[in-house]
Structure 1
Amino acid sequence: MTREGDGAKDLPKEGTETRETDANYLAQLVDLGIALSAEQGREELNQKILMAARKFTNADGGSLYLVNKDESELHFRILMNDTLNTFFVSGRENEKPFPPLPLYDVEGRPNYRNIATYVALTGKPINIEDAYCADGFDFSGTRAFDAKTGYRSKSFLTVPLKSTRGAMMGVLQLINARDEAGQVIAFDKSIEPIIAALASQAAVAIENSRLLLAQRDLMESFVRVLGHAIDAKSPHTADHCSRVPVIARMLAQAAVDDKLGPFSNFYLTDMEWYELDLAAWLHDCGKIVTPDHVMEKATKLETIHNRIHEIRTRFEVLRRDAEIDMLKRKLAGEDADACDADFKQKVAELENQFAMVADANIGDTELDTDTIYALHDIAELTWVRHFDRTVGLSWSENQRLTDADLVSLREAGTETLLMDREDQVYLGFNRGELYNLSIPHGTLTSEERQVINDHVVVTQDMLAQLPYPRELQRIPAIAGNHHEKMDGSGYPHGMTGDDMGILEKVMVIADIFEALTAVDRPYKRPKLLSECISILGDMRDKGQIDNDLFELFLVSGTYLVYGKKYLRPDQCDEVDVSQFLSS
């Protein structure tokens, strides 16, 4: 007979053990919650959830299913089994062990036959002692799996992964609980609340992970939309914003893969790859404010259209005036041969003068001083205008004319062949014809060149205003320093190689190489790969680009892989990379 005193002593001992077990479970759940909240990788998160559930229940195996985006199926994500020494992760295996499980049939009725879909649809956990003896569920798939593997699936504990707001995230399924001797037993009902709490934590972690991924996808999509918009703004720089990221990623990957060279200690985390990708897509976002006529300026006289046609018309007028003068002289009785000779000489002179103007308009060669003086002489040639020059103008054009201009321009008058008028200077640009034709090299005036260069400053200013998370703080520098040079000759800050990180230097090469190889630039013909590499080599020799990255660009074959995929076949000639490598 047990005495009350003895019984009283025994009860606290059992209660103490229970409290210790509960405290241990609680501590493990707290630790798990901290671990799940810190995990950002989806695969790693799924693994931690399943491993923790198996540890709590001493389950031999388990699997995790997640509800798909349109909530129509359960998709297999991970499977573990000690007896079968099996570890499957969706996306890694060649053959998925389980197909998606439809939550509804073709007629839209709930699929309650499968235990996992039942739990997902009802939100109720199911604890089965022996699947082969259970009623109400279809375990044919389980039996087929067992027949194929020689396994015996017996006890099942299937619990829903439901977030705090009631959203069904998926299903956690544990198989074959084991006792201390390793024998398969039923899942203890007392452990169900613990697993339910774990499942709730897991659901919240998965939901948070999905929200973070959705925000990341939204950010990346917005950035790409902006990049494509900038590319679409000008057909002559189309695909630049989308191709620079390709080159930058390829060169960065080559640096990561360089195990023996100067980049043997270089690596990038997942967030650093993401940072590089965003920065590369955003590197020219400042061009969104660059005027179209500057972006599109393929010749010196181009604004929205090429004004060489207007000047050619004036030359045509001068030629016609010369012809009229010849005919008048003949009618007046002058020697016909002399009149024809003078006319022929005048036509040849006009043709040579127009050829000089047209050639200067292209901008692909350096203009010497003699040519610029000759252009000024040509500009002084005059022709007679008979029509009112004030009609057909826009309101803004009229506003740029003075009252005196409006009076004089309504009447016929003499004008110079090339004009630099006051009304051609507005909005910070001088559109004067002689002024633009006298550009020594290229097609841009000094103020247009400054606007083009300022797109980097605008890029940096725009990007500096965004509230980046700590892992993306370098985006403005990576995106905005792609016009800097290692020797300090770049812009806008005149930085040197010592001031720049590896990814910034990667962007320098990526931007230059894409511009050199582009086939859509209006001011140059498409260059061969050998020409592009030669130009980069010359820049390396001048200390303008990073030597180690340039050589890696060559020896890794990055330039060739990109060329074969994105360039025209006739651009991809042979390149002797050995001549550019250090001995």
Structure 2
Amino acid sequence: MKNSKTGRHTLQFHLSVVFLVLVLSVGSAIGWLAYSRMNTVITEASHNLFDLTSTEAVAGLERLYAPAELAVEVIARQGITHARTLDERLVHLPVLAGFLDQAPSLSSLYVGYDDGDFVMLNKTSSETARRIFGAPGNSAYVIQSVEREPGMEAVGRFIFVDEAMTVIGQDTRPSFAEYDPRKRPWYKSAQAAVGQTKTDPYIFFTSRKLGQTIALNVPGTGATVAADIMLETLAASLRRERVTDHTELALFGSDLGMIAHPDETMVVEMLPPSATGGAPALGRLSANQLVGTVLPDVAKAAIAAGVTSGNGQTLTDRLTFDGATWRIQVSPLEIRGSDPYYLAIAVPEAELLAQARQLLQQGALAIGLILIVAVPITMLAARLISKPVRALSREAEKIKAFDFSDPVEVESAVIEIDDLSRSMNDMKSTIRQFLAINRAISDETDFARLLQTLLNSMGDIVGSSQGAVYLMSADETALEPAAAMGVPFETLARQPLDGLPNVLHEAVAREDVCTPRVTGEALAVCGGDPEDADNPERHAVVVPLFNRNDAMIGIMTLVSEEKGNPSLTRFVDALSRSAAIALETRQLIASQKALFQAFIRMIADAIDAKSPYTGGHCARVPELTKMLAEAAHDTDTGPFADLKLTEDDREAIHIAAWLHDCGKVTTPEYVVDKATKLETLYDRIHEIRMRFEVLKRDAWIAYWKGVADGGDGEALAKKRDLELETLDADFAFVAECNEGGEFMSDERIERLQDIAAKTWSRTLSDRVGISHEEATRKAAAPEPDLPVDEPLLADRREHILKRRPEDLFAPDNPWGFRLDQPEHLYNRGELYNLSVARGTLTPEERYKINDHIVQTIIMLSRLPFPHHLRQVPELAGGHHEKIDGSGHPKRLTGAEMTPVARMMAIADIFEALTAADRPYKKGKTLSEALKIMGFMVKDGHIDADLYDLFLTSGVWRDYAERFMKPEQIDEVDIDALRPKLSAAA
């Protein structure tokens, strides 16, 4: 159609004029030459091809089945069907081997017996077969046998023989003994049939190849003979019958199950695990792998014509598939002992035109004359038209490559091309804005700044300088102001949902963008200045923000002083969902971080609350660690000048410091709080006191018994008083040892041994009324007859609590622990505990206390920390290591530890020294604590450079002002401490 104003024409007009003339000229010249003979050539070619292919398919099936059918018939007449033992059956296996050698299609031959016995012969001449059966390298066959003797378990054997059928190896396969031929489909079908029977084709599990089983029940013998054949040769036969490049052939059953296809991968279908456990299954003509081919349509036509119902008919027809016409034929193939198979053939009509090419050549001369004239005209017209199209194509390539920098400046005389150029230019501008906003949203990590960025970006789109963002309150009853643009944030007010202003209510009710005109109060709600002069063009863009669940999470309002542009409003609407999801994501991240922070604080608080001896340790160590880390971050000189912390580093330090003692949740309180040597869940000194009381009562009883027997009362009283005095002194000594205040010298231990040698008489059983665990320990030794004399102090077998094997750490353990683990978990022997040289803890209990850092590392290493927090287990688990490598639990040296791990060690020590909330000790003063830490530097326990930074940065002073009692803060001479540091270095 001509445009009278500009003299331009549409693209449709140009193309129609040029190509219509060419099509009419060429079509008229060649149409009448080809049409008259086309149908005859196609019909003759398709009929000849189909008949020949069907004949060849039947012959191929006969060649495939004949050896297997013959083998089954011959073997059924052999003595193997009467054999009842494996030795008798082995004699007949050379016959089976001969069949396997002569017929490549035969996969295996076997016999199943009515008593459940089974014997099978497979070839192992290939590496694949030997690998499947675990056969020796020189084996030629494998004999698989199952024997079932009455009253005995079935025996499954694999016997490997060479070409001469000489046994070269065998083994027993218990899993194969479970195979029962009587339960197999081929056995059952043979039992129910007269003569040979064939199973439906199926996929062999080991080879993933299509096969079929031919079986024959041998009457009077109790045996059933079967042969497995491979159907893959049918695919080769079909490939040979493809007379054109795109001929489609398939052999299938009445259930549309695939039997053969030129492409063998079409026959096997890997079904999902929910269907078959991931095993291969027989493909179908309707399967996914055949989608896009004509065969499913051929199958539908065969079903509609009743061919697959077994009526013996042959379907010959034409159908249209994917815009092309096909000649098809579906014919039944009769198979003895099985349902008929069906051969489907489909050939594109276009490929059957080989005989018509001569006709087309005759028309080529006429076409050539026409093209000589038409080509120059066509090329000239196409060039004029395609030049701007090519320019637009280059612009499209830039868009494809995400290059939106340059505007589209393509002009054309064709109206559609010119309009397309302007549309592409607008599209590039819109996408550029969209990507810029999305990038700004994705790059911003701070939630408050994200809201402001989003508001400003949306304002730029609609040309607004005023606006606001409201977010849904936690109780979902109101919209809370969250960001403002162009006006003070304080001017925005909370908007209850049950009384929303009309300017917001309409957008919320419609759940869509609204653009109402705003003045006065409505203008203030939308983030504008209500004092501004009235503008009849002023309107607001009110955008509800919805999350992934279509729940409103807030509202964005933008005030525009110009009449609204619907396209910009639609753009804002499209962008709002992406923006809302970004907001929701940031909210979720923030809430998850808050939850995680609360969780780790809860763990730390629980650890501190678990024992009065830790106090606020888990809360103070993080603060001191972060103070020291920030001091290292702020320094520009020295060994820590290059240590610069990112926000991710700070988060990792924070979490690691709060969780540095999380393993203490596994440490029993009675070990941590053990105040005396005999204390467990209670102080066992009371048991020993009672034994002394018993001995004292015995002394009195002996005295009164002597008096009653007429003895010298004065002498007896003297003996009694001496014994009572000795018992009191001995108990006082035992009680003093129990307190753990005195060093246990050899003389004191020897006295304990003397006291322990005294005995007391027990008349009641100590194996009743006790826990199952203690009863189990006592059961290791027989119970003595009562009454029994027992030592006053003893180390008994039941005092030993053994360590579980899973609690032992191998040298190559995954955590890298290098520990000297005590043999036992606990040793509660009375003499063993009272003989502890210093303090109250045994080596086992001291290890248990130190084990908290081991558990910390194990617990944290099992948590799925994100990438930027992967260092948390290493940071938290290193605060008991020492610079000289003598620390716990990995014996790391200073060079093997990160600076932050070494910082946490200093924080842990300084907090422990100065803590004033430990009931068992008084907190050190600043000068005392720093002096002790100086000695630890000298001994190679803590990092010298970090200790120097600790002193010079004043971190110790800042910590003291926040957490230490005033009386602990004394004068500290830093210069006096640093020379010691230099000397140590």
TM-score (norm 2): 0.50
- Could you say which residue in structure 2 is the equivalent of 1:123? 511
Equivalent position amino acid for 1:209 in 2: R
The answer as to 2:458 corresponding to 1:53 is: yes
The answer as to 2:491 corresponding to 1:112 is: no
2:854–2:889 Cα contact (<8 Å) kept:
yes
- Could you say which residue in structure 2 is the equivalent of 1:368? 745
1:551 Cα deviation (Å)?
A: 4.2
- Could you say which residue in structure 1 is the equivalent of 2:587? 210
Q: Aligned partners of 1:144, 1:228: CA distance in 2, in Å?
A: 48
Q: Aligned partners of 1:372, 1:313: CA distance in 2, in Å?
A: 22
Q: 1:3 aligns with which of 2, 5, 11?
A: 5
Alignment of 1:474-553 (within 5 A): 474-518=871-915, 524-530=920-926, 531-553=928-950
1:131 Cα deviation (Å)?
A: 2.7
- Could you say which residue in structure 2 is the equivalent of 1:472? 869
1:365 Cα deviation (Å)?
A: 5.2
2:882–2:894 Cα contact (<8 Å) kept:
yes
2:492–2:527 Cα contact (<8 Å) kept:
no
Alignment of 1:376-391 (within 5 A): 376-391=753-768
1:519 Cα deviation (Å)?
A: 5.6
Q: Aligned partners of 1:272, 1:46: CA distance in 2, in Å?
A: 25
Q: Aligned partners of 2:705, 2:956: CA distance in 1, in Å?
A: 66
- Could you say which residue in structure 1 is the equivalent of 2:835? 438
- Could you say which residue in structure 2 is the equivalent of 1:276? 653
The answer as to 2:25 corresponding to 1:23 is: no
1:492 Cα deviation (Å)?
A: 1.1
Alignment of 1:243-282 (within 5 A): 243-258=620-635, 263-282=640-659
Moved more, 215-224 or 48-57: 215-224
Equivalent position amino acid for 1:526 in 2: K
Structure 1 residues 404 and 363 mapped into 2: Cα distance closer, same or farther (>3 Å)? closer
Moved more, 118-127 or 425-434: 118-127
1:195 Cα deviation (Å)?
A: 1.8
Q: Aligned partners of 2:972, 2:449: CA distance in 1, in Å?
A: 45
- Could you say which residue in structure 1 is the equivalent of 2:818? none
1:120–1:170 Cα contact (<8 Å) kept:
no
Q: Aligned partners of 2:885, 2:634: CA distance in 1, in Å?
A: 29
1:102–1:117 Cα contact (<8 Å) kept:
no
The answer as to 2:557 corresponding to 1:169 is: no
- Could you say which residue in structure 1 is the equivalent of 2:846? 449
1:199 Cα deviation (Å)?
A: 2.0
RMSD: 3.7
Moved more, 287-296 or 50-59: 287-296
SS of the aligned residue for 1:77 comes to strand
Identical positions, percent: 35
SS of the aligned residue for 1:400 comes to helix
Q: Aligned partners of 1:213, 1:505: CA distance in 2, in Å?
A: 30
Q: Aligned partners of 1:455, 1:545: CA distance in 2, in Å?
A: 20
- Could you say which residue in structure 1 is the equivalent of 2:447? 42
1:15 Cα deviation (Å)?
A: 5.2
1:207 Cα deviation (Å)?
A: 1.2
Partner deviation per Cα, 1:243-277 (whole Å, 9 max, x = no partner) = 43333334334444556665454443333222222
Q: Aligned partners of 2:534, 2:871: CA distance in 1, in Å?
A: 54
Q: Aligned partners of 2:414, 2:499: CA distance in 1, in Å?
A: 51
Q: Aligned partners of 1:377, 1:129: CA distance in 2, in Å?
A: 103
Structure 1 residues 343 and 526 mapped into 2: Cα distance closer, same or farther (>3 Å)? farther
The answer as to 2:770 corresponding to 1:393 is: yes
SS of the aligned residue for 2:778 comes to coil
Unaligned stretches of 5+ residues in structure 1? 89-95, 178-184
Q: 1:302 aligns with which of 658, 673, 679?
A: 679
SS of the aligned residue for 1:535 comes to helix
SS of the aligned residue for 2:556 comes to strand
Structure 1 residues 140 and 448 mapped into 2: Cα distance closer, same or farther (>3 Å)? closer
- Could you say which residue in structure 1 is the equivalent of 2:795? 420
Between Structure 1 and Structure 2, which shows a larger proportion of strand residues? 2
Structure 1 residues 316 and 556 mapped into 2: Cα distance closer, same or farther (>3 Å)? farther
- Could you say which residue in structure 2 is the equivalent of 1:93? none
1:503 Cα deviation (Å)?
A: 2.0
Q: 2:570 aligns with which of 193, 216, 219?
A: 193
2:544–2:552 Cα contact (<8 Å) kept:
yes
Q: Aligned partners of 1:426, 1:434: CA distance in 2, in Å?
A: 16
1:474 Cα deviation (Å)?
A: 0.5
Alignment of 1:222-233 (within 5 A): 222-233=599-610
SS of the aligned residue for 1:64 comes to strand
The answer as to 2:543 corresponding to 1:159 is: yes
2:523–2:530 Cα contact (<8 Å) kept:
no
Q: Aligned partners of 1:350, 1:247: CA distance in 2, in Å?
A: 53
SS of the aligned residue for 1:300 comes to coil
- Could you say which residue in structure 1 is the equivalent of 2:859? 462
TM-score (norm 1): 0.81
1:218 Cα deviation (Å)?
A: 3.4
1:431 Cα deviation (Å)?
A: 0.7
Structure 1 residues 142 and 37 mapped into 2: Cα distance closer, same or farther (>3 Å)? closer
Unaligned stretches of 5+ residues in structure 2? 11-412, 803-824
1:545 Cα deviation (Å)?
A: 1.6
Q: Aligned partners of 1:405, 1:490: CA distance in 2, in Å?
A: 44
Equivalent position amino acid for 1:103 in 2: P
- Could you say which residue in structure 2 is the equivalent of 1:333? 712
2:761–2:789 Cα contact (<8 Å) kept:
yes
SS of the aligned residue for 1:301 comes to coil
1:155–1:186 Cα contact (<8 Å) kept:
yes
Structure 1 residues 433 and 559 mapped into 2: Cα distance closer, same or farther (>3 Å)? farther
Equivalent position amino acid for 1:315 in 2: F
Alignment of 1:309-348 (within 5 A): 309-321=686-698, 332-333=711-712
1:192 Cα deviation (Å)?
A: 1.2
Aligned residues: 547
1:117 Cα deviation (Å)?
A: 5.7
